[in-house]
Structure 1
Amino acid sequence: MKIDSVEAIPLTARLKKAQTTSQASYTEISICLVKVRTDEGIEGYGECLARFAPTAYADLINRTFAPKLIGKDPWAVDTLWNTMRKTLNGRPGGILIESIAGVDMALWDILGKSTGLSVRRLLGGRNAESVPAYASSVMVSDDMELEAEKLLLQGFKIIKIKIGNGIPTDIERVAHLRRLVGPDVALVTDVNFIYTEDEAETLSRRLAEHEVVWLEEPVVPENREGYKRLSRKSSIALAGGESEFVAAEFTDLIASGAVKFVQPDVTRAGGITECRKIALLADAFKARYAPHVGFSGILCVAASLHLAAAMPNTYAYECMINPNPFREELGLNPYGLAHQLVDGNAIVPERPGLGIDLDWKAVERLRTKI
């Protein structure tokens, strides 16, 4: 079996509801879809983060990666990953690694389809049939009473709330959510690195009063030493990693104990191949794996769930609760969505590959207009 073609398709969608964090408000988002086809007619699908300028990702994949991959054995996933990595020199990251992520995901989809096995089974490990899900997120602009009622009815046992609008306001919102959901629901918080170290330390002490499990991205991701210092003073565990690209970038954060919950995004951090390395590195130091999904699409959901089902240290998968056409319209047979949970868990189907069939009419409807 050889790779016959590689095609990247940029997609852009308007959000029905603006998503507001401490950093910005988003009304339009993009991803880049990747389709890899073999000479046996097997197609695999993947997704790159490509939040902005998705046509640049498509150009890199179509013009630069594709000629290097065509004719190669798709089973050589590690070798092909390194082939793509060497396309640009310098430190790994940015558009290069995010583009590799989409191709890598498509290759794993092919491997599953060619063997009749799901990706979670191919990855080895636990091969769990379901994964705990956490609701993400109660946003800054949301009606908290309505959101809390909806999430409890959907069965969530872990809920994330976006904060970062000043410590007094943050504490007031977290306390209010705690009163609404009661003591048996775990709360996690995300400030999207809006605070200084000192502010984050103060915030952590106040959050501990409300039994918060983690404080996510408390400071800018570049401040590695700040993460380490803060972890020694923080009253609650730190979470992070959605801004990182490869396993090497996680090493100091994990080995130092700075981050107890590791959150790589499979559409950013080099795809399934690299995220597996990151999760297992975390496990070696007894840190937990909690894959990030964010504003990505249904293929990110699927790949994240298969990884979470296989890894030994999974805490929970990020189940997005706000409308997104890339999750709701691209797949003919989506799974892992909020309304599909069973007792707070996302079911991971035993279908070949990632188990997602794409709606090509939706793909064309969402194709980025140039």
Structure 2
Amino acid sequence: MYGCAECGTLKFIPFRCHSRFCPTCGALYSQKRAQAMSFKLINCQHRHCVFTISKELRHYFLEDRDLLNCLFDAASSVIHQMFYKMNKSQNFTPGYILVLHTFGRPLEWNPHIHCLISEGGVGDTGFWRKVDFFSFKYMRHAFQTALLSLMENRITDPQKKAQFKREKALSYKNQKDGFYIYAKPTLADKNTVAKYIGRYLGRPVIGLSRIDSYDKEKDTITFHYNRHDDEVLVTETIPAIEFIKRLIQHIPEKDFKMIRYYGVYGRHRESDKKLYRLIHPSKKPFLQSFLKWRSGILSSFGYDPLKCPKCNSTMKFLELYFNHKRVSLEDLYEKAMGKCRPKCRAPVQTHSLSC
């Protein structure tokens, strides 16, 4: 509850649900995630690659979600080995970010890895070396071999393992060129990189713009998408419960990391701090301020939520309510005492909210 010190007007501001599937909170989460990635990027050209798998293997990742880690490990090993072969003595290392997507455009189960990789890397000497040629023939075969080997080692059930060995042999027979890896054009401009991060790496399962209508009588939902093969617009109407089933299968497990940083972006060395970043560190606070709650409401809906509707003065925080009951800040501090860091032994009144 906020109050105006000038005219006494009171106003309640609701909490956010913080759910990734909420149209509002999920969009904000995606924006913050894309912004955090852009802060890590080096000021160089990047390439966006997509590591895919065959349809016959998708059900293994749905039945055992721990196998999704194999996608990260396989893609990372391929990129690391490819750059290592260029200069073994200098330990040539690029910077790359791997993002897991488990959905396709029709919301079906389709796990694949999006990779944003720098076209170059830094060695032990600290000098940057530019690389503008990637051997996708090698990457396809290497990714197929690495992923199938990792999956075979992770599957422990004897019956499933025997079935997987048969499908593994068929995979080598049917996909003689390896798993399909799609590489988008080089991202030379930093604004283009930022757009790609927001569009491909930070997007939710489905946007509100793709949901056309909801029929209350028939309990059906109509949505559209562009078919990946030929970009033809497809409109699909399905029961609401089926729509929900398609969505919730993409909810990740608790504490599962959908975004992982590798190479230069994943390590913390003093020499790497000398590399020029895509966004200068001095601009971070300014850009982060646009995603704060008050600024976000103002930019999205055109009004300041803390402005008094009567006298237009800035309202101040008065009280906090949870489950329709007033909660004092002292009570919050008392409850947080059990979660404080072991070194923190300060009186309750001196605690900060972050503590």
User: TM-score scaled by structure 2?
Assistant: 0.23
Higher relative contact order (CA 8 A, sep 6+): 2
